[in-house]
């Protein structure tokens, strides 16, 4: 009953305002628009003019949180009845990503604060039974939907605003409860969360990425080369791209045991997605070889036998391993990330690796590079041999060429 | 006073030397009696569910002459430890004073097991164990002595040739030279493959040049003679060269031997532990112990033979602690009641007495078995004694500290020192974890050899084998009485221990089946089932302990030793407890890994180790 009275009062006030258009012509126009046209449906289509006006309000040069909040404050301060709040909120929701506030719960709260308080709370059972103020409730749900889309968990203040606006048993509050039921549960589902804000520095970013792929806590990160530019004598500028590599002690052991008969392969670039950024990495690997089963030395352990000389196998009932057809994969010996994926830089990587893995000096190295996006602009030159290649025997030279030709 | 002691010992020794009636059978003469190595030993038979009663019943005894001799030895040693050893100062200064060391040497304690012909005391294992009870009263001294003779010079004693013995043993026996055992390296604990020290043959073929470092060497700073294990190149029969471990006797005088500063340790602070470095040390080829490339066996034998004495040593500590704490508990009053009137305090004394009794029984049973003619292989038994007594000692010292409350925590009293000292028992001479693997796997290997045929037949689906198994199962369902022949008409156990004996027999019988089913289930991959093996080891240790106490208490009643009724009580309580524990562990063994929590244990450990941290969210953390 109270709300009805309020409504009538508001209507009268609006009508009164309509008679005095001098003060705020825009508000009046907007008010009329609301009252004259009330067809059901999405508010976006209700009136193109009013919506466009709010779009104008957001079409600013300076787009940040402060200016976004400023628009909302301006609207709230202009009119105590908040005429056109649904349109404003709809527009605001669309503009949020442009202002970079789509993940800010405070801004969402501010947005929900735009709704006039208490007027939409059902006062009797009939109102409770039917959808009371459906457009307002749907609008609030849309705000919460957008929060859901961007993974923003609403907080206590959100609930406070929703209860104040729509009452405890309203749809927005239900939506809020569902969000709050699922979001905390899903918060830590990803055991390998990507950092929220990626670092711009390519070296630091490479470090993060390599540690992420390597997944070995013992792995050693090495920055082989920092990005720099060098002016040559003939005036040309030589750019040195960054070169960051990672290798674990286990990989070093594997590489040391590598059979020198077979070449090792530098392969890449492979993409790695971190949220919305894609980076590329290269691996040093080898083709899978037949595994030699290691014979345990009977004189290995001073204290207890490491194996029993019994002719009994494990019983089926205790064999809990799954029968999996595994694709034979060769070992990966090291990984790196670099600003330019040409053979020269990668050759430098191999050269640097050789300091800690002397065995690389005796191994033939094949470069099996696909043209990644970074390689599009600078064409790979046949002549630019890596320093490593000089030490290679000549037959490998032949071996590498077909691959290189294949890429080009 | 010391001169008197010395006189006593010297007199005693002279007397034996002249072939007087109190002559002990020295090690050498005992070895003449053997009739080939015996294959049967008690513990291994337990794995088959059998009790080789002739091995452990009756409880080993020594002759009256030997007893007399021990008493003659024990008296002065005990007196020396009570009056002249200041353990507190040794602990504080982290050094054993020279005069204390001299006193020990004069008592002949540096050559306890060295045969008399080389100037040692020529003690049997049993007598060595008895003296260990007293020397253990000071942890630092006990470790110094043990590092010297239980491992340091053991190599020369068991694998050295006559020239080596004649050259080195006399000076080692008198304590003029101290020995050390150098096996551990920075990168190698129990893994022989990671030993880095290397000895290369010199060009003239007369010397080995040794290079390398050893760490945590007890007596490293004091010793003059080292038993060093290093890699050498050995040529096979088919001409291929291979790296193998060789044992060497290295004198400090050979040159190139340096040691680091003594390590600062938690306990046994008075013992000298340090790093050793060998730099181009020239070792004459006649100083190779055993044969070139045979160092692995030498090391294993030394390690396996040195452990049994830890049982009596721990028992010695606990007996001393019981005296000290009982004094306190019977005088301190709270609420007008003596501490000793509280049941919770009484319980602690019962635990200590029980543990001491079991340790003692196990230690002397093992020592007695080792003293028998022949070369009985008692390494499994010795390992069991070590595991049980080290853990028992740690528990009892902790209980003793608890009885004393805050007082036990104070540095003014010796209790905290005992606690610190006893912690090493669980670690050195093979950690208890490693020894459990040794115990279980050695037994499994033995049982496996015998049972392979039967299990294979069962797997093939042989009817007779299946029927036999069904019969067994049916019997256990119907609670058939198990009789392994310890009680009854041809029994060897006193009737007052019949109940405990039945428990032992029942446990043993079902343990045999458990082992069989483990072999059936896992075969040779049992090596990787460490959680199951740990249970196997725990059960067999309990079984051995039960045997030891039953055998000892039986003897005590039968010959009417003093307080034998108390012994029966202790034996019975231990057997009941062990029986319950064994039943529980055997039930777990019979289950599959998802049911006996092994799966969960592995999963938890895997997660923690993958993250290398405890990863649970803090209880105060929130998600919204």
Which of B183, B449, B521, B526 is the mutation pick for testing A, counting most A CBs within 10 A? B521
Tens digit of each residue's pLDDT (9 = 90 or more) over A341-359? 788 889 999 999 999 999 9
Most confident of the following: A11-25, A196-210, B404-418, B590-604? B404-418
Out of B191, B525, B624, closest to residue A314 by CB: B525
B321 — phi, psi (to 5°)?
A: -65, -35
Confidence grade of residue A67 (pLDDT, cut at 50, 70, 90): very high
Out of B191, B435, B448, closest to residue A300 by CB: B191
Mean pLDDT of B413-431: 93
C-alpha pair distances (Å), A172 with each of A101, A169, B1: 21, 9, 97
* A303 reaches B (C-beta below 8 A): yes
Show residues of chain A in contact with B455, CB under 8 Å.
312
Catalytic residue among B185, B263, B429, B516: B429
Question: Average pLDDT over chain A, rounded to whole?
Answer: 78
Which of A179, A185, A187, A304 is the mutation pick for testing B, counting most B CBs within 10 A? A304
Q: Taking 70 as the threshold, does the pLDDT of residue B408 lie above it?
A: yes
**DSSP labels, A316-382:** GGG-------PPP---EEEEEEES--SHHHHHHHHHHHHHH-GGGGGS-EEEEE---GGGSSSPPPS
* A309 reaches B (C-beta below 8 A): yes
* A318 reaches B (C-beta below 8 A): yes
Confidence grade of residue A251 (pLDDT, cut at 50, 70, 90): very high
Out of B297, B437, B452, closest to residue A312 by CB: B452
C-beta of residue B398 within 8 angstroms of C-beta of residue B425: no
Out of B434, B438, B527, closest to residue A307 by CB: B527
Q: Taking 70 as the threshold, does the pLDDT of residue B31 lie above it?
A: no
Show residues of chain A in contact with B190, CB under 8 Å.
301-303
Tens digit of each residue's pLDDT (9 = 90 or more) over A120-178? 999 999 998 889 999 999 999 999 999 999 999 999 999 999 999 999 989 999 999 99
Inter-chain residue contact A310 with B623, CB threshold 8 Å: no
Give the per-residue pLDDT at A167.
Answer: 93
Tens digit of each residue's pLDDT (9 = 90 or more) over B352-395? 999 999 999 999 999 999 998 887 888 999 999 999 999 999 99
Mean pLDDT of A32-55: 45
Show residues of chain B in contact with A188, CB under 8 Å.
623
Known active-site residue B279: no
A104 vs A379, residue with greater confidence: A104
Asked if the bond preceding A159 is cis, omega within 30° of 0, the reply is: no
Give the per-residue pLDDT at B487.
Answer: 86
Give the per-residue pLDDT at A149.
Answer: 94
Among all residues of chain A, which has the CA nearest to that of B530? A306
Q: What's the length of chain B?
A: 624
Strands A237-240 and A228-231: antiparallel
Give the per-residue pLDDT at B613.
Answer: 93
Q: Which residues face A230 on adjacent strands?
A: A238
Strand ranges inside B194-353, DSSP E: 198-201, 207-218, 225-235, 241-251, 257-259, 273-284, 288-289, 333-334, 337-338
Show residues of chain B in contact with A297, CB under 8 Å.
192-193
A405 vs B606, residue with greater confidence: B606
Q: Taking 80 as the threshold, does the pLDDT of residue B499 lie above it?
A: yes
Report H helices in B226-370: 295-305, 309-331, 343-370
Inter-chain residue contact A188 with B623, CB threshold 8 Å: yes
Show residues of chain A in contact with B523, CB under 8 Å.
310, 312-315
* A180 reaches B (C-beta below 8 A): yes
Question: Average pLDDT over chain B, rounded to whole?
Answer: 89
Confidence grade of residue A376 (pLDDT, cut at 50, 70, 90): very low
Classify burial at B306, counting beta carbons within 10 Å of its beta carbon; exposed 0-12, middle 13-18, buried 19 or more: buried
Report H helices in B427-525: 432-460, 463-477, 498-522
Nearest to B128 by CA among B166, B77, B86, B84: B77
Q: Does this model's pTM top 0.90?
A: no
Q: What residue has token string 């006189």?
A: B7
Give the per-residue pLDDT at A53.
Answer: 60
Give the per-residue pLDDT at A396.
Answer: 39
Mean pLDDT of B299-326: 92
Which of A300, A310, A311, A317 is the mutation pick for testing B, counting most B CBs within 10 A? A310
Q: How far is A10 from chain B (nearest CA, A)?
A: 38
Q: Taking 80 as the threshold, does the pLDDT of residue A400 lie above it?
A: no
Nearest to B203 by CA among B285, B319, B258, B133: B285
ipTM of the complex: 0.78
Show residues of chain A in contact with B435, CB under 8 Å.
303-304
Tens digit of each residue's pLDDT (9 = 90 or more) over B467-481? 877 887 777 777 777
Among all residues of chain B, which has the CA nearest to that of A306? B527
* B456 reaches A (C-beta below 8 A): yes
Confidence grade of residue A46 (pLDDT, cut at 50, 70, 90): very low
Nearest to B404 by CA among B392, B395, B416: B416
* B261 reaches A (C-beta below 8 A): no
* A315 reaches B (C-beta below 8 A): yes
Inter-chain residue contact B521 with A312, CB threshold 8 Å: no
Give the per-residue pLDDT at A386.
Answer: 40
C-alpha pair distances (Å), A101 with each of A10, A69, A71, A146, B171: 33, 10, 13, 12, 86
Among all residues of chain B, which has the CA nearest to that of A215? B610
Inter-chain residue contact B438 with A300, CB threshold 8 Å: no
* A188 reaches B (C-beta below 8 A): yes
Q: Taking 50 as the threshold, does the pLDDT of residue A1 lie above it?
A: no
Q: Taking 60 as the threshold, does the pLDDT of residue A248 lie above it?
A: yes
CA distance B268 to A85: 81
CA distance A224 to B565: 79
Tens digit of each residue's pLDDT (9 = 90 or more) over B135-172? 999 999 999 999 999 999 999 999 999 999 999 999 99
Confidence grade of residue A192 (pLDDT, cut at 50, 70, 90): confident
Lowest mean pLDDT among A185-199, A284-298, B78-92, B153-167: A284-298
Inter-chain residue contact A188 with B435, CB threshold 8 Å: no
Q: Which residues face B250 on adjacent strands?
A: B226
Show residues of chain A in contact with B459, CB under 8 Å.
315
Show residues of chain A in contact with B603, CB under 8 Å.
none
CA distance B381 to B359: 12
Q: Judged by CB atoms within 8 Å, which residues 191-250 of B form the interface with A?
A: 191-193, 244-245
A340 vs B133, residue with greater confidence: B133
Show residues of chain A in contact with B303, CB under 8 Å.
302-303
Tens digit of each residue's pLDDT (9 = 90 or more) over B500-550? 999 999 999 999 999 999 999 999 999 999 999 999 999 999 999 999 999
Inter-chain residue contact B300 with A302, CB threshold 8 Å: yes
Among all residues of chain B, which has the CA nearest to that of A181? B624
Q: How far is A47 from chain B (nearest CA, A)?
A: 39
Most confident of the following: A28-37, A117-126, A194-203? A117-126
Give the per-residue pLDDT at A101.
Answer: 92
Q: Taking 70 as the threshold, does the pLDDT of residue B18 lie above it?
A: no
Give the per-residue pLDDT at A378.
Answer: 41
Q: Taking 60 as the threshold, does the pLDDT of residue B216 lie above it?
A: yes
Confidence grade of residue A234 (pLDDT, cut at 50, 70, 90): confident
Q: How far is CA B350 from the centre of its chain?
A: 24
**DSSP labels, B140-166:** HHHHHHIIIIIIITHHHHHH--HHHHH
The token pair at A138 is: 């749907």
Show residues of chain B in contact with A318, CB under 8 Å.
521-522, 592-593
Out of A300, A302, A305, closest to residue B299 by CB: A302
Q: Judged by CB atoms within 8 Å, which residues 520-549 of B form the interface with A?
A: 520-527
Out of B190, B437, B525, closest to residue A302 by CB: B190
Give the per-residue pLDDT at A373.
Answer: 58
CA distance A50 to A46: 9
């Amino acid at each position: 009953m109270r709300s009805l009275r309020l409504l009538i009062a508001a209507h009268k006030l609006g009508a009164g305002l309509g008679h005095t258009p001098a003060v705020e012509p825009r508000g009046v126009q907007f008010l009329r628009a609301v009252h004259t046209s009330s067809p059901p449906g999405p508010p976006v289509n209700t009136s193109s003019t009013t919506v466009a006006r709010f779009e104008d309000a957001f079409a600013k040069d300076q787009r940040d949180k402060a200016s976004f909040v400023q628009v909302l404050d301006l609207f709230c301060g202009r009119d105590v009845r908040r005429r056109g709040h649904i349109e404003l909120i709809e527009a605001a929701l669309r503009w949020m990503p442009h202002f970079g506030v789509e993940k800010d719960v405070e801004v969402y709260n501010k947005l929900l604060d735009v709704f006039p308080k208490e007027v939409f709370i059902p006062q009797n059972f009939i109102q409770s039974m039917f959808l009371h103020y459906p457009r307002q409730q749907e609008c609030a749900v849309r705000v919460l939907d957008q929060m859901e889309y961007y993974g923003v968990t609403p907080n206590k203040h959100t609930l406070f605003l929703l209860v104040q606006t729509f009452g405890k048993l309203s749809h927005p509050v239900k939506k809020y409860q569902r969000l709050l039921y699922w979001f905390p549960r899903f918060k830590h589902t990803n055991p390998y969360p990507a950092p929220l804000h990626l670092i711009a520095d390519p070296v630091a970013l490479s470090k993060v990425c390599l540690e992420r792929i390597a997944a070995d806590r013992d792995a050693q990160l090495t920055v082989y080369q920092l990005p720099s530019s060098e002016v040559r004598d003939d005036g040309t500028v030589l750019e040195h791209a960054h070169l960051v590599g990672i290798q674990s002690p286990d990989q070093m052991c594997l590489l040391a045991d590598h059979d020198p008969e077979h070449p090792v392969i530098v392969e890449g670039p492979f993409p790695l997605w971190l949220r919305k950024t894609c980076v590329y990495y290269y691996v040093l690997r080898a083709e899978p070889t037949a595994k030699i089963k290691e014979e345990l030395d009977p004189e290995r352990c001073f204290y207890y036998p490491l194996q029993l000389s019994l002719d009994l196998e494990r019983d089926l009932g205790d064999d809990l391993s799954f029968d999996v057809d595994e694709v034979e994969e060769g070992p990966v010996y090291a990984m790196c990330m670099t600003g330019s994926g040409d053979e020269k830089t990668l050759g430098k990587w191999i050269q640097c690796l050789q300091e800690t893995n002397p065995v690389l000096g005796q191994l033939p190295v094949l470069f099996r590079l696909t043209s990644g996006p970074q390689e599009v602009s600078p064409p790979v030159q046949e002549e630019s041999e890596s320093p490593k290649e000089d030490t290679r025997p000549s037959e490998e030279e032949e071996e590498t060429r077909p691959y290189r030709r294949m890429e080009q | 006073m010391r001169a008197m002691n010395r006189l006593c010992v010297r007199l005693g020794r002279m007397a034996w030397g002249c072939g007087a009636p109190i002559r002990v059978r020295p090690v050498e003469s005992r070895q003449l009696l053997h009739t080939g190595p015996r294959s049967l030993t008690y513990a291994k038979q337990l794995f088959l569910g059998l009790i080789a009663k002739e091995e452990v019943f009756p409880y080993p005894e020594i002759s009256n002459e030997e007893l007399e001799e021990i008493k003659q030895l024990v008296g002065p040693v005990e007196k020396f430890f009570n009056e002249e050893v200041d353990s507190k100062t040794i602990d504080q200064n982290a050094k054993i004073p020279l005069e204390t060391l001299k006193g020990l040497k004069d008592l002949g304690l540096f050559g306890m097991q060295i045969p008399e012909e080389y100037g040692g005391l020529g003690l049997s294992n049993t007598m060595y164990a008895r003296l260990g009870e007293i020397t253990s009263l000071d942890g630092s001294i006990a470790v110094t002595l043990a590092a010297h003779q239980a491992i340091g010079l053991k190599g020369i004693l068991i694998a050295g040739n006559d020239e080596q013995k004649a050259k080195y043993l006399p000076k080692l026996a008198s304590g003029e030279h101290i020995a050390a055992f150098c096996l551990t390296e920075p990168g190698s604990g129990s893994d022989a493959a990671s030993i880095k020290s290397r000895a290369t043959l010199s060009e003239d073929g007369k010397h080995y040049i040794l290079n390398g470092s050893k760490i945590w060497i007890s007596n490293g700073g004091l010793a003059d003679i080292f038993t060093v294990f290093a890699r050498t190149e050995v040529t096979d029969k088919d001409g291929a060269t291979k790296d193998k471990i060789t044992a060497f006797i290295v004198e400090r005088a050979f040159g190139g031997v340096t040691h680091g500063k003594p390590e600062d340790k938690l306990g046994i602070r008075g013992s000298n532990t340090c790093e050793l470095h060998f730099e181009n040390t020239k070792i004459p080829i006649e100083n190779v112990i055993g044969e070139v490339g045979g160092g692995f066996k030498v090391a294993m034998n030394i390690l396996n033979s040195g452990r049994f004495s830890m049982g009596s040593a721990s028992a010695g500590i606990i007996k001393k602690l019981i005296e000290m704490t009982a004094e306190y508990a019977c005088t301190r009053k709270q609420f007008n009641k003596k501490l000793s009137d509280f049941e919770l305090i009484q319980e602690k004394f019962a635990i200590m007495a029980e543990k001491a009794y079991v340790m003692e029984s196990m230690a002397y049973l093992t020592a007695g078995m080792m003293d028998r003619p022949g070369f009985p292989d008692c390494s499994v038994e010795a390992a069991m004694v070590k595991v049980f007594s080290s853990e028992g000692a740690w528990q009892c010292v902790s209980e003793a500290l608890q009885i004393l409350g805050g007082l036990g925590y104070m540095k003014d009293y010796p209790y905290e020192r005992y606690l610190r000292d006893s912690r090493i028992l669980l670690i050195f001479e093979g950690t208890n974890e490693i020894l459990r693997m040794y115990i279980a796997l050695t037994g499994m290997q033995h049982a496996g050899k015998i049972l392979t045929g039967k299990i294979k037949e069962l797997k093939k689906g042989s009817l007779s084998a299946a029927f036999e198994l069904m019969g067994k199962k049916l019997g256990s369902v119907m609670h058939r009485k198990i009789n392994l022949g310890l009680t009854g008409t041809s029994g060897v156990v006193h009737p007052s221990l019949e109940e405990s004996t039945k428990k032992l027999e029942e446990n043993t019988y079902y343990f045999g089946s458990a082992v069989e089913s483990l072999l059936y289930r896992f075969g040779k991959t049992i090596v990787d089932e460490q959680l199951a093996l740990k249970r196997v080891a725990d059960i067999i240790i309990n079984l051995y302990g039960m045997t030891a106490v039953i055998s000892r208490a039986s003897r005590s009643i039968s010959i009417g030793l003093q307080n034998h009724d108390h012994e029966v009580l202790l034996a019975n309580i231990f057997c009941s407890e062990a029986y319950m524990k064994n039943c529980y562990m055997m039930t777990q063994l019979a289950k599959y890994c998802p049911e006996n929590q092994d799966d969960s244990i592995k999963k938890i450990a895997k997660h923690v180790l993958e993250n290398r941290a405890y990863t649970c969210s803090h209880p105060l953390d929130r998600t919204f």
